[in-house]
Chains A and B, each alone.
Chain A
Amino acid sequence: MPFVPDPEIGNRIITLMAALVLVLQIAAVGQRGIVSSIRIFAVQSFLLGAIAAVIAYFNQASHIYVVALLTVFLKAGLLPRLLERLVERIGIRREIEPLINVPLSILISGGLTLLGYVVAESFYHPEETSARAALGHNTLAVAVALFLIGFFVMVNRRKALTQVLGLLSLENGLFLAAISLTYGMPLVVEIGIFFDVLVAVLVLGILVFRIGETFDSMDVSKLRKLRE
């Protein structure tokens, strides 16, 4: 008889890590330094990779291990490194200035988390509950919350680089939703998405660098000058 791990323990571990990811996301909203925002994103991505590995272990789906490894390598290693180098090259170390002040932003992200739970609740059908269905329920709420807060960060920040960070954490939410609901999409799709994100960050990085060079600032509201 093959060794089958107890899904109950897996469920607890995944829920706990998902909660940690959520805490990090809220911390990122309250964060002002650009470099520390990037580091928070790196830790968050590492946790996502760990969640993928745990799901792979408890569902015995070996191809998710590849996804987990890719996540850790790309999103927790390569992308933050690229972004930090970009920050160094532009030489802007000033604090992030959100449009809405920080306490209110944190309150709003708390509200968005609630919204995430409400949305996820409608997907939850306890009558068809199996261990696998229960595995996804808590994580979906966190994933929707990540998605919404990522959107909010993009809207709330003026600097181009921090908007890229918002986009990336939004993508983390999508990844969490995909992996916790489907237990791993086909590997080709996953690799396609990773490549997509990588290219997006590279292109956005170049764009941010150009904006920084042309306007001496990463403030996207200055792009309005382009009309004249």
Chain B
Amino acid sequence: MIEVLINSALQLVLLLLLAPLLSGAIKTLKARLQMRRGPGILQPYRDILKLLRKGMVIPETASWIFSAAPYMVFATATLVGLMIPMTTTHAPFSLFGGVLAVVYLLALGRFFLALGGLDTGSSFGGLGSSREMTISAIAEPAMMLAIFTVALGANSTNLSEMAKVAVGQSWRFLAPSQMLAFAALFIVLIAETGRIPVDNPATHLELTMIHEAMILEYSGPYLALIEWGASIKQLVLMTLLVNTFFPFGLSSDWTLQTIGVGLAFYLAKLLMLACMIVLVETTNAKLRLFRVPELLMVAFILGALALISTFLF
């Protein structure tokens, strides 16, 4: 019982503290690859602390939804994070729900963020919300198909069960269905975290922004919550990707040693995925908005092929 509590506490702390670090690491890696110095790895922490200390400006036209959205974004991302196995095969909240709960909790967070963008009545907010919904309308089914492929292999939609089965079949990631699903989920990850071929996280150019347009009216602690929630969501999606497809180092028992090994493996896998994202971001130009559905359509077809090929191979 104590061990379960420790595991849950560890995962919560890891989730909250690692997320900004990961965003910072991606930013720094990207800057170095482009021969820039870039901000330090710890910059996201400083941003969050600074924003939390500042005052807020709330538009007069805003209703309660405007204030509720940051909390919803933060809470859903954290909740989802606790349902995904990170360093051991056992996730703290795995009894609470499986893959479907994960997908729809993320959708709930996104829904409130889009509402928050619409709520103030500013044209940029509405534009950002409409774009976000356009993208997620295709990204979500692609993500479902990809995750269901893995769930079929494990005969369970519970992520802890899936991780346990995956640890047993360590060569499984060579199967074509797994690889197709990984490719699909990677494109979804790029789209959902607002990375370059889909959205540019580093710009406020009105023609291209998606995520930034929705949160344009937020300031102070609310903005900190949203940014923190967004980085947690990014960590959660990346964890989902590395741990369902490459379950190396996940352990099913809780000794200090296995948790340490699990943690080391987990960080190494995250770093490798971050390097992949940085490479994609640096070598690609941002797509025109109307081309984004084409990219996501590729993800959708890859997901569908992955699901179908589990029955064929």
Contact = CB atoms under 8 A, between A and B. Distances in A.
Interface in B155-189: 171, 174-176, 179-180, 183
Given A12-B171, A12-B174, A16-B176, A26 B301 contact: yes
Contacts of A152: none
A103 interface: yes
B305 interface: yes
B301 A16 contact: no
Contacts of B308: 114, 117
A141 interface: yes
A103 B313 contact: no
A26 B174 CA distance: 20
Given A117-B308, A141-B312, A109 B179 contact: no
Contacts, number: 56
Nearest to A113: B305
A110 B312 contact: no
Contacts of B99: none
Interface residues of B, number: 20
Nearest to A32: B291
A110 B305 contact: yes
Interface in A73-131: 102-103, 106-107, 109-110, 113-114, 117, 121
B176 to A, nearest CB: 3
Contact of B298 (A18, A20, A30, A138): A30
B176 A103 contact: no
B297 interface: yes
B298 to A, nearest CB: 5
A118 B109 CA distance: 41
B302 interface: yes
Interface string B278-313: 000000000000000111011001101100110011
The 6 closest A-B pairs by CB, nearest first: A19-B176, A110-B301, A103-B297, A102-B294, A12-B174, A106-B297
19 contacts: A15-B174, A15-B313, A16-B176, A23-B179, A23-B180, A23-B302, A26-B301, A27-B298, A30-B297, A30-B298, A102-B294, A103-B297, A106-B297, A110-B305, A117-B308, A121-B312, A138-B176, A138-B313, A141-B312
Interface of A: 12-13, 15-16, 18-20, 22-23, 26-27, 30, 102-103, 106-107, 109-110, 113-114, 117, 121, 138, 141
Interface of B: 171, 174-176, 179-180, 183, 293-295, 297-298, 301-302, 304-305, 308-309, 312-313
